[in-house]
Homo-oligomer: A and B are copies of this chain.
Amino acid sequence: MNESTLSTRPSPSTRLSGQVRIVGTGLLGGSIALALRSQGVDVVLADASPSSVRLAVDLGAGRAAEEGDRPQLIVVCVPPDVTADTIEAELLRFSDAVVTDVASVKLAPLFELQNRGVDLTRYIGSHPLAGRERGGTISARGDLFLGRPWVICRDEETPGWVLDRVEDLAHDVGALTIEMTPEAHDEAVGLVSHVPQIMASLMAKQLQKASDDAVRLAGQGLRDVTRIAASSPELWIQILSANSEAVVNILERIQDDLAEITQALRNVDAPGSRRAIAREISAGNDGVARLPGKHGQNRRFASLIVLIDDTPGQLARLLTEIGELGINLEDLRLEHAEGAQMGLVEFSVLPEVVDKLTLELEKLGWRIAA
């Protein structure tokens, strides 16, 4: 780990003082733990799978939970279908700790707990909007929440000290807090997360029976549209089932639009057909324009693409030479140009070193593509 990346953290001083207990050490739990550890917070880890806890400990995410732990804050990071049970159990077991969860749907677990008559004074639901296509402890990373929104769903009864503790958690991992009602939250994630997952899956499904030649023609556009289609069905049944009403409302609108554009394409030369197609495409222009930031780009790093001979020795030599330049790589991707005796290596580096790296690599005879 290098200081330059550390210095990108929004909150320089840690707010949480006491012990934090993470229940569920998968991608989110593991990442929260790593982020808190890097801030020096005392983190204890619990998971139904002991090997998952061991791996998290090996990754530097904290220590295994044990008798006598006195957590100040408990973060429930378990699958949606056991979230309510786990919240109830943790509230009972640790009678003075604040309990929050990171489930991606907020109304369903809340209703379930209310129906059981659980005292929710010390509970406040939250949802960090961060993730990766690959899940599991092994994919956890401490910077997962940097600059990402973290929704906190307080209600009128939530005491200030409870709210503060969850806000401190969000700030300590570098996230930006947003207060929303559970209703508004579920509607919003249906639109920005759950329906996009369905659209990506439906598109990707069409590739199942595609010819090999067709697949060879795939470019970045298709890759981007279908990237999240790699997500776990088990997880998504739970998420979609728990937020079905909000999702169905949006899917019904999309069904209408899809029927309209399909009909227009069936009779391209009929009056109004081309106008109907143009209307859908430019409505898409307006919609995508509402998204903040650059699309599909890492805003914190600059990237550089180098062409290399498609042999492991080449890549090793390139990385050795970059190492000798004392430049740290934040991220690296090798794209194997199928059939070509060549690979494209994409580096992400801190913006301030990209010019130097480009210059030095060109001096060394490497071919820079972009």
Contacts and interface: CB of A to CB of B under 8 A. Distances in A.
Number of copies: 2
Between A217, A286, A365, the greatest number of chain B beta carbons within 10 A of the residue's beta carbon is seen for A217
Nearest to A289: B230
A175 to B, nearest CB: 9
A18 interface: no
A226 B329 contact: no
Contact of A141 (B293, B331, B340): B340
B339 A143 contact: yes
B1 A310 contact: yes
Contacts of A187: 214
A75 interface: no
Contact of A287 (B140, B208, B254): B208
A176 B335 contact: no
A280 B231 CA distance: 12
Given A312-B323, A339-B1, A340-B10, A143 B369 contact: yes
A171 to B, nearest CB: 11
A354 interface: no
A118 interface: no
Interface stretch (A92-100, A109-117, A191-199): A191-199
A252 B196 CA distance: 19
Contact of A293 (B1, B201, B253, B335): B335
B309 A5 contact: yes
Those 10 A-B pairs whose CB atoms lie nearest each other, nearest first: A142-B339, A147-B337, A201-B284, A2-B365, A204-B287, A188-B214, A207-B287, A8-B342, A229-B284, A316-B319
